[in-house]
Chains A and B, each alone.
Chain A
Amino acid sequence: MTTDLSAPARRGTTTAGRGNSPRPPFGVSAVSVLAVLIALFSLVPLGYVAYMTVATGWDTAVGLILRPRVGELLLNTLLLMAATIPLCLLLGVAGAWLVERTKLRGHRVWAVLLAAPLAVPAFVNSYAWVTAVPSLGGLGSGILISTLSYFPLVYIPAAATLSRLDPAIEQSAAALGLGAWRTFFRVVLPQLRIAMTGGALLVGLHLLAEYGAFAMIRFDTFTTAIMTQYQSTFNGAAGNMLASVLVLFCLLLLLAEVRSRGTARYARIGSGVQGKALRLPLHAYQWPAQLFLLALTALAFGLPLFYVIRWILAGGADIWTASEFLPALLTTFSYGLAGAAATTVVAFPMAYLAVRHPGWFSKSLELSNYVTSSMPGIVVALAFVTVSIRLVPGVYQTAGLLVAAYVLLFIPRALVNLRAGLAQAPKELDEAAQALGKPPLLAFIRVTLRLTAPAAAGGAALVFLAIANELTATLLLSPNGTRTLATEFWSKSSEIDYAGAAPYALLMILLSAPMTYLLFQQSKKVAGQ
């Protein structure tokens, strides 16, 4: 799934302007060829779903789609999104506003703590909550757990945007007699539109893709039902039809986001230096605000951490001596590294075209990647399993195929960061180096690649985070005998061996924490452009 947190940057700033050729010299540039190949490859899962829908035959497909069970899943999924997305927006924006724009005591600490729940994979959160309240189940619990897991996806971009908003407009509003509340709703909130629609899209896509968290609390969505069908029939028509409905959902969500993003311009115009943001005094609201943030972080981060540690203590020293433990950590680590490296390399041509040769061509290439990465891991994995068995059996069940799936699923994370990095490395520098006598290749490596390195590292870290916690694609595609932290955690917790699962949960949190912090820092930098 995409956790494309720097999304506002992609949407808010145009990276165009430097290149004077409007499109790449088609057919000549090797970059274009590479980018086209990658884009075509990324369309394999979509093509597979379409092919299977056609191959199933109209009557069977209709029979499988128009049945009461699909209605139930549709209702579950819609209600889940209808409740969770607004809740995440409310919590995310309220948190961001308190942290960035009020005289909240300890706002620096709160700023980090509100991002912290992102380091807890949703299925670990679910596991902790099921321990705390064993009877959890159904829609209400789904809303509770996904809201607590995903509100940082809104909070992080909202906080980044708020910290960079030009206070001049608010000052004008105040000067014209608008009260604090009305200023917020009429001036501040509209400027958060990009952060909010972007965050809402991410939350929505996560809700569509989540499997482990919902399976644990017996809440069925399309993704859990596809997984169920997969386990019963491996590649049956019913599972594939559910997948096609789910893909349609993802596309609708992407479209809705594009539409609600609007076309208004949000960037600051004019010369001069932006003033420092104002902080409103909280007065009597100081304590309620502190309590609200305390409750939120306690439920979203404190509770899972508490129960994971409690299970670890209950399990004693024995659980740490398990022989599977170290291999799982090493495997997770190497898949994370390999996946992050491959994704960054593959994203480079795409980012290069988007920045140096913007236009319809690079735009459509990019879009094909977003479509694929909006699809849940289970659908991409199903496509890869089937296509590889039939067409390229040599790569079936290899580490390479799994890494390729990771690349497709997580490419936007690398892309967004690389674009920002490339935009800051003007090609004039490259040309200057050549003029000074460096061969073009060397100039490119010495100048452009070097300047992009920090951004590439940031993107790679995000991809690593995603891979470390990925479950469904790993379950389906991994080579025989492979065990990752996520799959081990899942197999133990499914057998209600909660103590045995706890160390894996803790390790996933520990691996994720530094990446989440990096992400938080990175989003502020990107929002400033």
Chain B
Amino acid sequence: MKIRNSALAGIALAATAALGLTACGGGTPSGNSSSAAASNGGASDGITVYNAQHESLTKEWVDAFTAETGIKVTMRQGSDTELSNQIIQEGQASPADVFLTENSPAMTQVENAGLFADVDKDTLAQVPAELAPSTGKWTGIAARSTVLVYNKTKLTEDQLPKSMLDLANPEWKGKWAASPTGADFQAIVSALLELKGEAATEEWLKGMKENSKAYKGNSTAMKAVNAGEVDAALIYHYYYYGDQAKTGENSSNVTPYYFKNQDPGAFLSVSGGGVLKSSKNAAAAQQFLKFITGKKGQEVLKNGTSFEYAIGSEVPANDKLVPIKDLQAPKVDAAKLNSEKVTDLMTQAGLL
């Protein structure tokens, strides 16, 4: 009697559980299920963009693109290397159609894994050859310059370092900040690695661990400079211009300093975009990439609030920025930047 009793109870529970689970499996209204339904069920081909670029910038592109073509775009937000590694692990099963990054090392990683389709010729033609890899497996979509922002009430011009490498010297102990966890900073290190080699990079990272304060995000680092918590921060240029264009409350005491002279600290980092081989909506994905490197897409960079450099379709940079040709950036082949080596070196140095 007792056995039968609990067995029956068990069946009842199993039924309830099954009902409950199917109910929540089928009925969970998440952002995905609704957008997936729209993209698969509708006539328009929706695409999924794994986006490591700033969410607000890509959203401007997406809104303009959807308005023009009617193609729906779903975004997954993450950091460069998080998403590149994720795409590699997902392999052929990846739901991503397009991958956009802030910097190029993560693009190279996916390219080396053989997961990118060739970018359409029309698209490649829109971007200068030096801002895209020779392989044509992905393309530059925007660019960003390394800059040292400093607090003008705490440092004078003559106290500024000649080279980014000087920041590893003892006199800079406790005085500068960076966001070592970000892809931006890791791209700067990858450029350093490419320009000066492994030993010099290791040495510099050791000095950085010793001297720098770590913040989460470039804007937070700049905010700390502004508040006088640190004297300077190694970030990208547009955080400063973006804040100035708004209220300036995080940059009123801050001035940007460009290293120039082909210094590693004058590195111009290329943001990348590519279409995945495994994409089931390849045509729409290529169309998206063509759109953002085209005139309209690049004008979002010129006229919008991102303050990143426009690089394609002969659209000039935003008027407020130092023109690219005046930056005296070192020549670095984007296809040679190595993110895995960089994260290893940074992990060894105790920064990650």
Task: Find chain A residues with CB under 8 A from B25 CB.
Answer: 399-400, 403
Task: Find chain B residues with CB under 8 A from A430 CB.
Answer: 5
Q: Does A234 contact B (CB under 8 A)?
A: yes
Q: Bound state CA distance, A67 and B351, in angstroms?
A: 12
Task: Find chain A residues with CB under 8 A from B252 CB.
Answer: none
Contact A403 B352 (CB under 8 A): no
Contact A231 B79 (CB under 8 A): yes
A418, chain B: closest CB distance, angstroms: 12
Which among A182-190, A200-208, A340-348 touches the partner chain? A340-348
Task: Find chain B residues with CB under 8 A from A233 CB.
Answer: 81-82, 85, 340, 343
A23, chain B: closest CB distance, angstroms: 11
Q: A24-B6, A235-B85 are in contact. Are A496 and B219 (CB under 8 A)?
A: yes
Q: Bound state CA distance, A67 and B349, in angstroms?
A: 10
B interface majority secondary structure: helix
B185, chain A: closest CB distance, angstroms: 10
Task: Find chain B residues with CB under 8 A from A448 CB.
Answer: 9
Contact B28 A234 (CB under 8 A): no
Residue-wise interface mask of A (311-344) relative to B, using a CB-CB cutoff of 8 A (1 in contact, 0 not): 0000000000000000100110011001101101
A415, chain B: closest CB distance, angstroms: 14
Contact B79 A338 (CB under 8 A): no
Q: Bound state CA distance, A338 and B26, in angstroms?
A: 10
Q: Bound state CA distance, A234 and B227, in angstroms?
A: 33
Q: Bound state CA distance, A495 and B158, in angstroms?
A: 31
Q: Does A17 contact B (CB under 8 A)?
A: no
Q: A28-B7, A338-B24, A479-B33 are in contact. Are A444 and B77 (CB under 8 A)?
A: no
Task: Find chain B residues with CB under 8 A from A238 CB.
Answer: 347, 352
Task: Find chain A residues with CB under 8 A from B198 CB.
Answer: none
Q: Bound state CA distance, A491 and B55, in angstroms?
A: 9
Q: Does B89 contact A (CB under 8 A)?
A: yes
Q: Bound state CA distance, A69 and B206, in angstroms?
A: 13
Q: Does A369 contact B (CB under 8 A)?
A: no
Contact A400 B216 (CB under 8 A): no
Q: A28-B7, A234-B89, A496-B223 are in contact. Are A444 and B32 (CB under 8 A)?
A: no
Q: Does B74 contact A (CB under 8 A)?
A: yes
Residue-wise interface mask of A (59-90) relative to B, using a CB-CB cutoff of 8 A (1 in contact, 0 not): 00000100111001000000000000000000
Contact A30 B13 (CB under 8 A): yes
Give the B interface residue count (CB, 8 A): 68
The residue in chain A whose Cβ has the minimal distance to the Cβ of B3 is A25
Contact A342 B217 (CB under 8 A): no
Give the A interface residue count (CB, 8 A): 77
A48, chain B: closest CB distance, angstroms: 14
Task: Find chain A residues with CB under 8 A from B90 CB.
Answer: 389, 393, 396
Contact A399 B33 (CB under 8 A): yes
Q: A69-B350, A445-B12 are in contact. Are A479 and B30 (CB under 8 A)?
A: yes
Q: Does B331 contact A (CB under 8 A)?
A: no
Q: A134-B223, A341-B20, A480-B48 are in contact. Are A440 and B5 (CB under 8 A)?
A: yes
Q: Bound state CA distance, A494 and B74, in angstroms?
A: 22
Q: Does A478 contact B (CB under 8 A)?
A: yes
Task: Find chain B residues with CB under 8 A from A413 CB.
Answer: none
Q: Bound state CA distance, A140 and B34, in angstroms?
A: 45
The residue in chain A whose Cβ has the minimal distance to the Cβ of B242 is A495
The residue in chain A whose Cβ has the minimal distance to the Cβ of B49 is A480
Task: Find chain A residues with CB under 8 A from B93 CB.
Answer: 389, 393, 396
Q: A215-B216, A400-B24, A440-B9 are in contact. Are A482 and B30 (CB under 8 A)?
A: yes
Task: Find chain B residues with CB under 8 A from A434 CB.
Answer: 5
Q: Bound state CA distance, A238 and B347, in angstroms?
A: 8
A241, chain B: closest CB distance, angstroms: 10
Task: Find chain B residues with CB under 8 A from A331 CB.
Answer: 29-31
Contact A335 B28 (CB under 8 A): yes
Q: A34-B13, A134-B223, A440-B5 are in contact. Are A228 and B75 (CB under 8 A)?
A: no
Q: Bound state CA distance, A444 and B11, in angstroms?
A: 11
Q: Bound state CA distance, A449 and B31, in angstroms?
A: 34
Task: Find chain A residues with CB under 8 A from B27 CB.
Answer: 338
Contact A134 B227 (CB under 8 A): yes
Contact A232 B9 (CB under 8 A): no
Which B residues contact A (CB, under 8 angstroms)? 2-14, 16-17, 20-21, 23-25, 27-33, 35-36, 48, 55, 74-79, 81-86, 88-90, 93, 95, 181, 186, 213-217, 219-220, 223, 227, 229, 250, 340, 343, 346-348, 350, 352
Given A234-B89, A349-B10, 5 further pairs, Cβ under 8 A: A30-B14, A228-B352, A330-B29, A331-B31, A338-B28
Which A residues contact B (CB, under 8 angstroms)? 21, 24-25, 28-34, 64, 67-69, 72, 134-135, 137, 215-216, 218, 225, 228-236, 238, 327, 330-331, 334-335, 338-339, 341-342, 344-346, 348-349, 352, 356-357, 386, 389, 393, 396-400, 402-403, 430-431, 434, 440-441, 444-445, 448, 478-483, 491, 494-496
Query: Can you name 19 A-B residue pairings with CB atoms under 8 Å?
Result: A25-B2, A32-B10, A69-B350, A231-B79, A233-B82, A234-B86, A235-B85, A235-B89, A238-B347, A342-B21, A396-B90, A399-B30, A403-B25, A440-B8, A479-B32, A481-B76, A482-B31, A483-B31, A494-B216
Closest 6 CB pairs of A and B: A30-B10, A479-B32, A234-B85, A345-B20, A31-B10, A338-B24
